[in-house]
Amino acid sequence: MNTSREKSKRNATSIDVARLAGVSQSTVSLVFGGKASGRVSPLTQKAVLRAAQELGYSPNTVARTLRLGHTNIVALIIPDVGNPFFASVLRGAEQAARKYNYTVVLVNTGNDQDWQRIVVEALATHSIEGFVLCSVSTSDTLELAKLKHRAVIVDRSSTELTSLILDIGRGSQLAMQHLLSLGHRKIAHLATNIDAETFEIRQQVYEATLHKAGISNRPDYTVQAAFIIDEARIAASALLKLPDPPTAIFCDDALLAIGVYKAAKDYGLAIPQDLSVIGFSEGFLAKAIDPELTAIAIPAAEIGARAIEMLVAGFQTNENPQTETVSLELVVRGSTAPPR
Amino acid sequence: MNTSREKSKRNATSIDVARLAGVSQSTVSLVFGGKASGRVSPLTQKAVLRAAQELGYSPNTVARTLRLGHTNIVALIIPDVGNPFFASVLRGAEQAARKYNYTVVLVNTGNDQDWQRIVVEALATHSIEGFVLCSVSTSDTLELAKLKHRAVIVDRSSTELTSLILDIGRGSQLAMQHLLSLGHRKIAHLATNIDAETFEIRQQVYEATLHKAGISNRPDYTVQAAFIIDEARIAASALLKLPDPPTAIFCDDALLAIGVYKAAKDYGLAIPQDLSVIGFSEGFLAKAIDPELTAIAIPAAEIGARAIEMLVAGFQTNENPQTETVSLELVVRGSTAPPR
DNA sequence: AATCATAAGTCATACGTATGACTTCGTCAA
DNA sequence: TTGACGAAGTCATACGTATGACTTATGATT
């Protein structure tokens, strides 16, 4: 069993350091715990540090954690890292967490339907202090609120959990007003079918804004698709082959907008000349496609970072659930123009 | 300090369970450790499980880890989750890790230049058993090999570390042959500037394949750019405004290809009629853009998964560094056509 | 001189689990 | 009857750290 690699070199412990420095283990612990002032003389501190250096010592996190009772680990629960939006959330979260000395463990629920089980398992298995949840349905939110863990829930309101809300209503309004001000009257809505609450807000604002503009609602102008390009393409086709097709489409997500792009091409329509497209999107994807997508910008990385901050703040001040709102802005790019 | 939320409810320990079930702590531990057969009677097992159920007990991972001496945590070090390729690697890694009961901690080095420090910190702070490294330079590889940790390095060869190599050479060949067989003679190379080894292979094959086809190499047909769309756009422009511009461009990455798309549009060139584009790419981005990108498909998720498997296998069989190669395939989509 | 305060350390213990060594008890073969 | 043996448990300890309680030594104050 003695193959080349030396696993033998046991990591040095505080006891080893103490022995080498000629002090007690407690002293080493005090030095590394930052509680040295007034308890350990500067001279001794130097000695300890030197000994530690020599042995390549660093405190064992596991033991420290066991003693202290908290792990400094939080979980980020997202449906799919493959989606650039969630990837950005993750990046933001990871950076913020590092600042507070926390570690983020990713739980990618994928398409797994009983992902609640995964979450609960993760919480149990790893000793996680709290979690950030993205994209859960309203009913699941209630379930999760029962877990006695600190949690921040993104883009969902909840009275039981701290939540970071995106001002989807205002965003939808900006998008619709942009289309209206360009002169569009025939505006369709390509919606996501995955979550009730968010869908409703967008749909509500969509209808309300049209109503206020004196445009009557057409049920056949609202179609749904999952966050999959091909599905969006099919749904968009349904809109484009209507006898009286829309001149603009308001999309719930960038992926859906890409589906529209593809459908438009199928029908020989040029964007934005023949068809305007607008959607919610973080920046990357919106800028990757051609023409670049006019979008309600969702600051994904900032959202991830802020969620972590709220979570950590919750650990410290032991207060009731908070709610915070992220405002969204319209970024006009190349996918919208006046109707022909 | 007694605010609403009850943090008071201490988690049940094996001792609590033992007391309730009327057995010793050891017995509880045996049951939950799966070592019950032959040591604990089925009857007692039931009793223990029932008691655990009642108390909502699950073993404390931190304590178990301290006792067992290994954390079941591995780190995945990548430059940018925002890049769909790395996001997919992460997803694959995360799923594979879960299968082996490992947890993946993400370390996103970003543009941070001294990311080696970050890696080392991560290894020390969290008790990480090994790591998977993506996209490091050759010189850094040597540095990291010194750390006495298990590691798997992706897309880099190393005699000191287990490596998962992508058959970039063969992939480049496939790409070039595809372009040649379409009748292209004026083929340019838009290369990445971030890593010597990979760059060299692609460039070598690019030149060799042209040479074999009896086409002499033109230095002005090779340009470099970082993995940033706008930079690629500028580099591609340099190619397109040559007095004798290429009819096809071979790109080292999908992001670079997107830059080419944008540059082509700037110059009023249609893809693939006026300009063929081919590149290395995982699937998502290649299919998101229009026309869909003909590409050497890099199975990112599989790579992530395989890297984890190799890492875990390395923990078990304590053997010397292994090397494994992932073969790549050409996927013809809409961005390539015969030259006009 | 006696008392007190402070600095500089050390001691002992607890965090919750896993496991090798040990005990107890009933059964069965010799 | 004895001894051996396996099954079913229990005991005691170690993993490495943090920290409240305790001990000295050194001045300073009255």
Q: Which of residues 10-39 of A touch strand C (CB under 7 A)?
A: 23-27, 30, 38-39
Q: Higher-confidence residue: B77 or A235? A: A235
Mean pLDDT of B147-173: 88
Predicted confidence at residue B1, as pLDDT, reads: 34
Tens digit of pLDDT for each residue in A21-35? 999 999 999 999 988
- Report if CB A65 to strand D is under 7 Å: no
Helix axes A196-212, A168-181, angle to 10 degrees: 40
- Report if CB A68 to strand C is under 7 Å: no
Interface test with B, best of A3, A58, A61 (most B CBs within 10 A): A61
Q: Higher-confidence residue: B259 or A126? A: B259
Residues B269/B260, Cβ–Cβ less than 8 Å: no
Flag whether pLDDT at A211 surpasses 60. Answer: yes
Predicted confidence at residue B7, as pLDDT, reads: 41
Flag whether pLDDT at B88 surpasses 50. Answer: yes
Q: What is the spatial distance, in angstroms and rounded to an integer, between the CA atom of A40 and the C1' atom of D25?
A: 14
Q: What is the spatial distance, in angstroms and rounded to an integer, between the CA atom of A60 and the C1' atom of C15?
A: 14
Mean pLDDT of A223-236: 93
Quickly state the pLDDT bin for A193 (edges 50, 70, 90). Answer: confident
d(CA A256, CA A233): 8
Predicted confidence at residue A115, as pLDDT, reads: 72
End-to-end, the C-alpha distance of chain A in Å comes to 77
Q: Which of residues 166-195 of A touch strand D (CB under 7 A)?
A: none
Comparing A47-61, A286-300, A306-320, which segment has the lowest mean pLDDT? A306-320
Predicted confidence at residue A139, as pLDDT, reads: 72
Which helix (DSSP H) or strand (DSSP E) does residue A131 occupy?
strand A130-134
Predicted confidence at residue A5, as pLDDT, reads: 38
Flag whether pLDDT at A314 surpasses 90. Answer: no
Which helix (DSSP H) or strand (DSSP E) does residue B190 occupy?
strand B187-192
Q: What is the spatial distance, in angstroms and rounded to an integer, between the CA atom of B26 and the C1' atom of C19?
A: 9
Quickly state the pLDDT bin for B139 (edges 50, 70, 90). Answer: confident
Q: What is the spatial distance, in angstroms and rounded to an integer, between the CA atom of B25 and the C1' atom of D4?
A: 30
A157 by Cβ neighbours in 10 Å (0-12 / 13-18 / 19+) ranks as middle
Predicted confidence at residue A196, as pLDDT, reads: 63
Tens digit of pLDDT for each residue in A85-109? 898 999 999 989 988 888 888 888 8
Tens digit of pLDDT for each residue in A41-67? 999 999 999 999 999 999 998 999 999
Predicted confidence at residue A25, as pLDDT, reads: 95
Give the residue whose CA sits closest to D12 at C1'.
B26
Mean pLDDT of the residues in chain A: 88
Q: What is the spatial distance, in angstroms and rounded to an integer, between the CA atom of B308 and the C1' atom of C19?
A: 30
Inter-chain contacts counted by CB atoms under 8 A, chains A and B: 126
Nearest CA in chain B to A57: B124
Contact B66 A71 (CB under 8 A): no
Mean pLDDT of the residues in chain B: 88
Closest CA to A258 of A284, A283, A279, A282: A279
Predicted confidence at residue B302, as pLDDT, reads: 96
Comparing A30-44, A238-252, B296-310, which segment has the lowest mean pLDDT? A30-44
Chain A partners of B229 at a C-beta cutoff of 8 Å?
Answer: 287-288
Percent of chain B at pLDDT above 90? 61
pTM (two decimals): 0.85
Predicted confidence at residue B70, as pLDDT, reads: 85
Flag whether pLDDT at A294 surpasses 70. Answer: yes
- What is residue A134's DSSP assignment? E
Nucleotides of C under 7 A from a protein CB: 7-12, 14-20
Mean pLDDT of A137-151: 75
- Report if CB A1 to strand C is under 7 Å: no
Predicted confidence at residue B8, as pLDDT, reads: 43
Mean pLDDT of B31-60: 92
Predicted confidence at residue B101, as pLDDT, reads: 85
Percent of chain B at pLDDT above 70? 93
Nearest CA in chain B to A7: B148
Predicted confidence at residue A126, as pLDDT, reads: 65
Percent of chain A at pLDDT above 70? 93
Q: Higher-confidence residue: A275 or A141? A: A275
Flag whether pLDDT at B111 surpasses 80. Answer: no
Mean pLDDT of B279-295: 93
- Report if CB B61 to strand D is under 7 Å: no
B137 by Cβ neighbours in 10 Å (0-12 / 13-18 / 19+) ranks as middle
Mean pLDDT of B48-63: 93
**A314 to chain B nearest CA, in Å?**
11
Flag whether pLDDT at B296 surpasses 90. Answer: yes
Nucleotides of D under 7 A from a protein CB: 7-12, 14-20
Mean pLDDT of A117-146: 76
Give the residue whose CA sits closest to C19 at C1'.
B26
Structure-block tokens of residue B236: 């591609």
Q: Higher-confidence residue: B73 or B336? A: B336
Closest CA to B118 of B94, B98, B100, B144: B144
Q: How far is CA B296 from CA A188, B18, B250, B281, in A?
A: 37, 59, 10, 6
Tens digit of pLDDT for each residue in B204-225? 999 999 999 999 999 999 999 9
Q: Higher-confidence residue: A33 or A196? A: A33
Closest CA to B256 of B284, B236, B241, B282: B236
Quickly state the pLDDT bin for B9 (edges 50, 70, 90). Answer: low
Nearest to B60 among A6, A81, A127 (CB): A127
d(CA B95, CA B103): 9
Tens digit of pLDDT for each residue in B229-253? 999 999 999 999 999 999 999 999 9
Flag whether pLDDT at A186 surpasses 70. Answer: yes
